[in-house]
Amino acid sequence: MIDCVENRLLTSRRGLLLGGAAFAAWAYLPKFARAADGRDPRLVVVILRGALDGLATVAPLGDPDYAALHGSIALTADGAHPATRLDGFFALHPAMPEFARMYRDQHAAVIHAVSTPYRDRSHFDGQDVLESGYAGPGRVQSGWLNRALEALPRGERVSSGLAVGPTTPLVLRGAAPTVGWAPVALPQADDDTAMRLVDLYRHRDPALASALTQGLQLEKAASGDDMKPKPGNQVAQMRQVARGAAKLMAADDGPRIAALAFDGWDTHANEGGPVGRLAFLLGGFDSALAEFESGLGDRWRDTVVVVATEFGRTARINGTDGTDHGTGTIALLAGGAVKGGRVISDWPGLKPANLYEGRDLKPTTDLRSVIKGVLQGQFGLSDQVLAQTVFPDSASARPMKGLVA
Amino acid sequence: MARDSQAALVALNRFGFGPRGGASGDLINAASDPRGFVKAELARPLGALLEAPGLQATPQLGQAVFAYQDQVKQAREAAKAATPTEAPAPPPANQKPDNQLRRNLSLNTVASEISGQQVAEAKSADNKPADGAMKPDAMQPNAAAPPAAKQPQQPLNVIQKTFRTEALARLQRAMLVDCGFTERLVVFWSNHFCISASKGELARMWAGAFEREAIRPHVLGRFADMLKAVEQHPAMLFFLDNQQSLGPDSRAGQNRKRGLNENLAREIMELHTLGVGGGYTQEDVTSLARIITGWTFAGRKGQLGAPGSFAFNANAHQPGPQVLLGKTYEANGLAQGEAALADIARHPSTANFIATKFVRHFVADDPPPALVARLRDVFVRTDGDLKALATALVDSDEAWKAPLTKMRSPYDFLVASGRLLARVPEDPGLYLGSLNLLGQPLWTPAGPNGFPDTAAAWAAPEGMKLRLDIASQMGARLGPNIDPLDLLEFAAADAASVETRKTIERAESRQQALALLLMSPEIQRR
């Protein structure tokens, strides 16, 4: 009975037209966007909220302790749904064929045993650290991506932006203006009414004036039949969001730098192995990556998609065939600009003594180093800006070199 | 008597659901005695209870889900037997409510419903809540067209029907109460102790009952009682997986080779009581998880009690004493966990966490420290008397002097609009669809931390644009029959800014004027 009910979670989220995903973008083009060298870098940051089980997504099949710890949900190299071998040690979840293909083409990479500096196990604080870029939770209302944008030379305003979800994810909140868009079919207020309201807000409530003005500037390029909501499960929703985002980002005057979030990775019970709940979600996420690839077309060549989650999950499954909140996990990179085909890891091992607090994958790589490496590779941000402004007090987390081709 | 419209706005908007239009006289009444207007509701301790025809208790609702699931299963098997290879499985039940919601996303539907053009006959006097005190000629829907036009093509299943019945009862109550402070408290505590209907069929079925049974009886009672009612409610046990958690050394744990799930234990401490940094460790989380093993609800076979009712399953309970927050709790079954919860409820961190969140919700995103400290002291002194907490808030100066910088949540905004327009919904579709659009689907937050509670979260660009679209549709439908300046008098009177008044006066049409009024800072801020 319980398993049956549990599975319904997957489809019922469709009810949250906007609840399961959020997307927002920088309102300006980077000034070097149309530089003569033809390189026009794009960056998409994907936050997986709920704490992705890194050991279930990219499994250390070569670690002798993995199979016992992950128990009934462990991936295997054989069987009906074998994991996809990535190298002699790691294998990818079989629900991710698109990522596997990108990896083979050297346009996708995995960084394993990563985490933010956060070491407790609250989703909300963990997400706060992940998105704010500060070493602890609750410090600021701005995100590292927004602060990175402030360090970039600002060019023309983009003609369109997009957000799924009426709220901007923290990672992109801050002083640098952002735009958003929601894929809903809704009769629009007419321009005259909107302008009168903006005028009223300008006199009485500048904060609302700013928000509404940005909200009004979206829409146009984002419209199109294929972005209207359609019946479909969470997989379809992830794909739809990615397709809409890619379409806007592919345009010459479209946004270059954006963030989105997918919810639902908090797999406490009946997580499933090669098939099941996590497999279903990973499949949706995998198809969303493929949507970005096809939607961005030629621009995929200059794109990096960074995928991160607030922390990992327990190395050992819990009493309900799921995993509880943990520490170390994975980060993923995909895109034509990624120097891929590699699992980058200083593998800590899964022996009891090697686990963090005896229960979690021990993080050996600071996620900030990964993100810094991407920001530096894509946009040339200096070590100093990255260590002081984007990720304050993070000089010890050096940018990882060579992530971007 | 002195009239203070500005204070009346605080009374009605900061503490309540906004003034009702028509002949309610809310703004005038609030202006003559703002504090008294708010506190009048606190004197009616039963006023938070919600009883209406068709609302059922959790066990009955659970049994209806079990029966429904059996039917679906039988239908699927019958279909399979009929055409063994190609039979399409019946769609999961949750597809239907979503389709239904999607249909209702049409703003034409939204606005026509708010305008009453397709609303069923007006509510009869005998099913109004006793404390409604509405003025009949002002508040009744003004049309009586048959509801047939709105009927969805597919019949709703029992879960969808129940969800809508519960939603409608909650919305109608919000429309009819005088100030709405008690209802705002219900919404606050319901979000604090949220479940999500997206967890599954049982959660969707139980979402309304959970609020009626675990939250409403205690919003003017004791925190410890609410905490116990929440953590023992089948909806919460289901939402945070505790019905699956088995003591590793319990008989069931040994037999089934399964064990702990610490989800509920963690959120009890992190989100419900102590708060992050409230002085607990991972070991405490695990310990509390062990302590509450066996807290479950009876399943469809009823081996543990009436199906769908709370049950303590001694077979699943981890044996032995447990140490939690430095104190040892002896092994005495259900009482072990109840003793632990009682202690957590009166922990100093809980008082601090609750006081902070309470002030943040009602007063300011950055809660004034002195007010938080005062409320924390009240919480401690009264052993978590929530009526005393609410009273202390209303009695404070800070709550009346702080500028109205909070942003109405989508639910607040829609309810306030409905009240001002004096429309009592007969169908929840408009509200459910609009809440989905605006990112606050009813009883369905994305995580166990509930919906956000800061101005930044609700004043995001896309959200503002969508609000304007919705207000614009309301204006288009209702504007022709309404004098926007009259409505401005009901909404803010002389507390309205010169700019807002001018903007409404100069609007090119009544429709436009109404949209602008609904979007004005006087209505959006609280």
- Quickly count: other Cβ atoms within 10 Å of residue A339's Cβ: 16
**A-chain residues within 8 Å CB-CB of B444?**
15-16, 19
pLDDT above 50: residue A217:
yes
Q: How far is CA B505 from CA A402, B484, B499, B510, B517, in A?
A: 62, 8, 10, 9, 10
Confidence (pLDDT) at B399: 96
A49 and B446 within 8 Å at the Cβ level: the answer is yes
Closest CB to B198: pick one of A16, A125, A186: A16
Smallest CA–CA distance, residue A198 to chain B, in Å, is 10
Cβ-in-10-Å burial (0-12, 13-18, 19+) of A118 comes to buried
**For testing contact with chain B, the best of A197, A210, A357 (most B CBs within 10 A):** A197
Instruction: Report residue A358's pLDDT band, with 50, 70 and 90 as the boundaries.
Output: very high
CA distance to partner chain A, nearest, from residue B271 (Å): 9
What is d(CA B93, CA B157) in angstroms, rounded to the nearest whole number?
8
- CATH of segment(s) A2-181+218-390: 3.40.720
Three-state SS annotation for A42-67: EEEEEEECCCCCHHHHEECCCCCCHH
Chain A residues touching residue B266 (CB < 8 angstroms): 121-122, 324-325
Split at pLDDT 50, 70, 90, the class of A161 is very low
What is the tens place of the pLDDT at every residue in A268-293? 988 999 999 899 999 999 999 999 99
For the segment A338-355, the average pLDDT, to the nearest whole number, is 97
Mean pLDDT (whole number) for A138-165: 76
Nearest CA in chain B to A218: B462
**CA nearest to B241 within chain A:** A269
B185 close to B78: Cβ distance less than 8 angstroms: no
Q: If you measure CA to CA, which chain A residue comes closest to B513?
A: A193
Note the pLDDT of residue A231. 34
Given A194, A216, A357, which is nearest B282 (Cβ)? A357
Q: Which of A8, A319, A324 sits opposite B201 (nearest CB)?
A: A8
pLDDT value of residue A36: 56
pLDDT tens figures, A48-64? 988 999 999 999 999 99
CA distance A159 to chain B (A): 15
Lowest mean pLDDT among A153-162, A371-380, B89-98: B89-98
Got the DSSP string for B116-138? Answer: TTT--SPPPGGGS-TT----HHH
Is the CB of A8 less than 8 angstroms away from the CB of B92?
A: yes
Mean pLDDT of A374-394: 95
Chain A residues touching residue B285 (CB < 8 angstroms): 121
The label of the residue with tokens 């972005």 reads A227
Cβ atoms of A232 and A12 within 8 Å: the answer is no
Is B394 within 8 Å of B35 (Cβ atoms)? Answer: yes
Gap between the Cα atoms of B228 and B237, Å rounded: 12
- pLDDT, mean of residues A68-92: 96
B253 and A201 within 8 Å at the Cβ level: the answer is no
Across the interface, do A8 and B93 touch by the CB < 8 Å criterion?
yes
Residues of A in contact with B66 (CB under 8 A): 1
Of B202, B261, B464, the CB nearest to A212: B464
- Residue A166 is nearest to which of B97, B200, B460, comparing CB atoms? B460
Nearest chain B residue to A124, by CA = B449
CA triple A372-A374-A376, angle to 5 deg:
65
- Looking at the DSSP bridge assignments, the partners of residue B487 are none
Nearest one of B88, B41, B382, B291 to B185, comparing CA atoms: B41
What is the CB neighbour count within 10 angstroms for residue B257?
11
List, as one string, the DSSP characters of B222-277.
BHHHHHHHHHTSHHHHHHTTGGG---TTSHHHHHHT-----HHHHHIIIIISS-TT
By the 8 A CB rule, do A324 and A313 touch? Answer: yes
Is residue A100 classed as helix, strand or coil in its secondary structure?
helix
pLDDT at A91 exceeding the cut of 60: yes
| DSSP 8-class letter at A331 | E
What's residue B22's pLDDT?
85
Residues of chain A contacting residue B455, judged by C-beta atoms under 8 Å apart: 207
Confidence of residue A167 (pLDDT cuts 50, 70, 90): low
Question: Cα distance from B85 to chain A (closest Cα, Å)?
Answer: 22
Chain A to chain B, count of Cβ pairs less than 8 Å apart? 251
Nearest CA in chain A to B457: A167
Suggest the residue from A17, A69, A168 to mutate for an interface test with chain B (most B CBs closer than 10 A): A17
Q: How far apart are CA B1 and CA A78, in angstroms?
A: 83
Residue where the block lists tokens 């070491």 = A119
Q: Which residue ranges make up each domain of chain B?
A: 1-178+407-526, 240-345, 348-401
In this structure, are residues B138 and B23 in contact, taking their beta carbons and an 8 Å threshold? Answer: yes
- Dist. CA B437–CA A182, nearest whole Å: 9
pLDDT in tens, chain B (526 residues): 456 889 999 999 999 999 999 888 999 999 999 999 999 999 997 899 999 989 999 999 999 999 999 999 999 999 888 865 554 444 444 443 333 333 333 333 433 333 333 322 233 333 333 333 332 222 222 223 333 333 445 789 999 999 999 999 999 999 999 999 999 999 999 999 999 998 999 999 999 999 999 999 999 999 999 999 999 999 999 999 999 999 999 999 999 888 999 999 999 999 999 999 999 999 999 999 999 999 999 999 999 999 999 999 999 999 999 999 999 999 999 999 999 999 999 999 999 999 999 999 999 999 999 999 999 999 999 999 999 999 999 999 999 999 999 999 999 999 999 999 998 999 999 899 899 888 899 999 988 999 999 998 899 888 898 899 899 888 877 877 788 899 999 999 999 999 999 999 988 888 889 999 999 999 999 9
Report CB contact under 8 Å: A8, B449. no
> In whole angstroms, how far apart are CA A337 and each of A105, A260, A333, B33?
12, 19, 10, 66
Phi and psi at A48, nearest 5°, equal -95, 105
CA A403/CA A333 separation, integer angstroms: 9
Q: Which residues contact A23 (CB under 8 A, 6 or more apart)?
A: A162, A163, A164, A165, A180, A181, A241, A244, A245, A258, A259, A260, A261
CB contact under 8 A, A319 and B462: no
pLDDT band at A28 (very low <50, low <70, confident <90, very high): confident
Ordered alpha helix ranges (H), A79-227: 97-104, 123-132, 144-150, 191-204, 206-216
Complex ipTM value? 0.81
Task: Report how far Cα B368 is from the mean position of its chain's Cα atoms.
Answer: 25
- With an 8 Å Cβ cutoff, are A180 and B460 in contact? yes
Cβ atoms of B433 and B109 within 8 Å: the answer is yes
Chain B residues with CB inside 8 Å of A14's CB?
94-95, 98
Facing residue for B499 by CB, picked from A204, A215, A268: A204
Nearest to B465 among A17, A120, A216 (CB): A216
Q: Do A263 and B447 count as a contact with CB atoms less than 8 A apart?
A: yes
How far apart are the C-alpha atoms of A317 and A224, rounded to whole Å?
44
Minimum mean pLDDT range among A9-23, A169-183, B301-315: A9-23
Quote the CA–CA distance of A403 and A110 in Å, as a whole number: 10
For B216, the token pair is 């409403």
Strand partners, A85: A91
Interface test with B, best of A316, A324, A359 (most B CBs within 10 A): A324
B513: buried, middle or exposed (CB in 10 Å: 19+, 13-18, 0-12)? buried
Closest-CA residue to A154 (of A257, A27, A28)? A28
The whole-angstrom distance between A294's CA and the closest CA on chain B is 26
Domain ranges within chain A, ordered by starting residue: 2-181+218-390
Out of B243, B260, B464, name the one closest to residue A208 (CB): B464
Long-range contacts from B113-116, C-beta under 8 angstroms, 24+ separation: B113/B150, B113/B425, B113/B427, B113/B429, B113/B430, B114/B417, B114/B418, B114/B421, B114/B423, B114/B425, B114/B430, B114/B474, B114/B477, B114/B478, B115/B143, B115/B423, B115/B474, B115/B477, B115/B478, B115/B481, B116/B141, B116/B142, B116/B143, B116/B423
Please tell me the distance in Å from B58's CA to the nearest CA on chain A: 17
Question: Cα–Cα distances in Å, from B190 out to A359, B23, B444, B450?
Answer: 34, 31, 11, 9
**Between residues A318 and A170, the one the model is more confident about:** A318
Nearest to B276 among A122, A205, A216 (CB): A122
- By mean pLDDT, which of A35-44, A347-356, B161-170 is the weakest? A35-44
Which run of H or E residues covers position A23? strand A21-26
Asked if the Cβ–Cβ distance from B500 to A204 is below 8 Å, we say yes
Q: B461, A163: Cβ pair inside 8 Å? A: yes
Contacts of A201 in chain B (CB under 8 A): 521
C-alpha to C-alpha distance for B16 and B42, rounded to whole angstroms: 12
| Total number of residues shown for chain B | 526
- Highest mean pLDDT pick, A3-12, A155-164, B316-325: B316-325
Share of chain A above pLDDT 70, in %: 84
Q: Which residues of B touch A214 (CB under 8 A)?
A: 461
A-interface mutation test, from B66, B163, B462, most A Cβ less than 10 A away: B462
**In chain A, which residues have their Cβ closer than 8 Å to the Cβ of B234?**
none
Q: Which residues of B touch A181 (CB under 8 A)?
A: 462
Q: How many CB atoms lie within 10 A of CB B374?
A: 18
